[in-house]
Homo-oligomer: A and B are copies of this chain.
């Protein structure tokens, strides 16, 4: 580390989805397993940030770990659509430049978030969907899914995964990955791969990742609405989150959760469901892990 950087605050928050389950709906061992995994992911991410890794690298690494866990509705653990097929959506956004990479309705790539990053860095495009995106993954030699390895968890929540981070250079980044709604129509795309709906990062302002009923987040342009309240109303983060949910999402019946990090390393969670699988280490180094309120 070069002098001075270590004095900068770094922070990370991750989520493993929101849902309307009661504590008795989930076996204690399963909840413990998910929380332990989320804790491990933020601890690993925090150390990488402290060692000088970029927020962009760290959100990709964190989401890849969550995709690989099989514990959430993303990557290995993704739910199936109405035809019994897994279709995955993901995005990543760099707060320095507002560059975005995103993929949707991909079936074959192992880590959609890493394909999204490659779309951002290797093409002039933001969003690539369907079989063409899988073909890019193959052309770029990214690891492909081995279908027999994958198992579908019996989820009663939107187990989308996401990460937001602040690095020692003051850069923000966000990433989100999901298998979408269980039983969705083929080709259906939710909010996770869409900048402004499920993922947003802008240096000096905020990094956000959402989980929930994607259609309502799309119709509300929810995470950019939070960012816009911060920029144009200059309200505190907690108020921007609460107002966006109450004034934009809830009037049309939407449910879910959002994680947020500010340029000073403040971390916030907001959800109008009973639970949000979550973990964070904020700018003061404080660890939080939780599922229910």
Contact = CB atoms under 8 A, between A and B. Distances in A.
A7 to B, nearest CB: 29
The A interface is mostly helix, strand or loop, or mixed, namely: mixed
Contacts of A195: 197, 218-219, 221
Given A100-B219, A129-B187, A215-B126, A224 B196 contact: yes
Given A98-B220, A185-B123, A228-B232, A131 B128 contact: no
A189 B136 CA distance: 15
Interface in A89-135: 97-100, 104-105, 123-133, 135
Contacts of A124: 215
18 contacts: A97-B252, A104-B129, A123-B185, A123-B188, A127-B189, A127-B190, A128-B188, A129-B129, A129-B130, A129-B189, A130-B131, A132-B186, A132-B188, A136-B185, A194-B194, A194-B196, A196-B218, A232-B233
Given A129-B130, A200-B221, 14 more contacts: A98-B220, A105-B132, A124-B215, A126-B189, A126-B214, A127-B188, A128-B185, A129-B189, A195-B218, A195-B221, A196-B196, A225-B228, A229-B232, A232-B232
